[in-house]
């Protein structure tokens, strides 16, 4: 595995997977369950051996890789405009969070508590999801930039859907942190587009 670009793309796929899941929940009230389990679990992998081990394996980010692949195709951006907006907002929010070590500390402690809960119940148990959602409200939601999620009002009004969306956005922040740790920068998205595309193709082939 090419340490730099492939690891960056794995983390970036994590960001786009969170964005795609938020879009699914908001628009359809349904979601890709294995993808959501992998994304939520990524919050609890705090000392990974590799970037990929945050998501288990390539199957854990297949939705993110496929979403990235679609977006990188010519003229595909229009179809995925909301997903792109969520992903770029998550990357922007990670930049704000990085400047607040005390908030990062609070997030770390509360994720540890949620991890214990997930071990007792299950990854997608209502208690775990609502705990992670309240963590998002208490921390990331306090920034001036708020991610405005657009979807069907009837679905967005369901409290469990709202909690799922917030918990999933938290996983996107986790992946954005990982992306930066592997050397990802916003300008890479423009300047390294071909390299990102080649890496997505390579990783997708490995996953199949």
CA-nearest of 43, 36, 25 to 64 is 36
Helix pair angle (62-72, 81-98), 10° resolution: 110
pLDDT of 140 reads 97
Q: In this predicted structure, what is the pLDDT of residue 18?
A: 98
Cα–Cα distance for residue pair 93/207, rounded to 1 Å: 30
Overall domain count for the chain? 1
Instruction: Yes or no: say if 63 and 32 are a contact pair by the CB < 8 Å rule.
Output: yes
DSSP code, position 99: T
pLDDT per position in the chain (208 positions), as tens? 556 899 999 999 999 999 999 999 999 999 999 999 999 999 999 999 999 999 999 999 999 999 999 999 876 656 799 999 999 999 999 999 999 999 999 999 999 999 999 999 999 999 999 999 999 999 999 999 999 999 999 999 999 999 999 999 999 999 999 999 999 999 888 889 999 999 999 999 998 7
d(CA 208, CA 203): 9
Q: What's the CATH number where 99 sits?
A: 1.10.3890.10
Helices (H), 99-152: 101-120, 126-138
Domain containing residue 185 = 3-207
C-alpha span between 174 and 110 (Å, rounded)? 14
């Amino acid at each position: 595995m090419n340490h730099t670009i492939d690891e960056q793309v794995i983390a970036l796929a994590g960001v786009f997977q969170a964005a795609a899941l938020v879009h699914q929940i908001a628009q359809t009230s349904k979601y890709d369950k294995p993808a959501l389990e992998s994304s939520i679990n990524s919050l609890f992998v705090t000392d990974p051996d590799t970037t990929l081990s945050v998501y288990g394996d390539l199957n854990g980010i297949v939705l993110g890789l496929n979403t990235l692949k679609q977006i990188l195709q010519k003229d595909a951006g229009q179809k995925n405009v909301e997903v792109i907006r969520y992903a770029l907002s998550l990357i922007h929010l990670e930049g704000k969070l990085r400047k607040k070590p005390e908030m990062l500390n609070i997030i770390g402690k509360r994720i540890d508590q949620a991890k214990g809960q997930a071990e007792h119940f299950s990854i997608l148990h209502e208690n775990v999801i609502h705990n992670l959602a309240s963590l998002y409200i208490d921390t990331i939601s306090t920034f001036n930039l708020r991610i405005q999620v657009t979807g069907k009002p009837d679905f967005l009004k369901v409290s469990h859907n709202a909690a799922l969306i917030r918990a999933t956005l938290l996983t996107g922040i986790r992946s954005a942190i990982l992306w930066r740790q592997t050397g990802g920068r916003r300008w890479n998205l423009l300047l390294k587009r071909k390299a990102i595309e080649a890496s997505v193709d390579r990783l997708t082939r490995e996953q199949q």
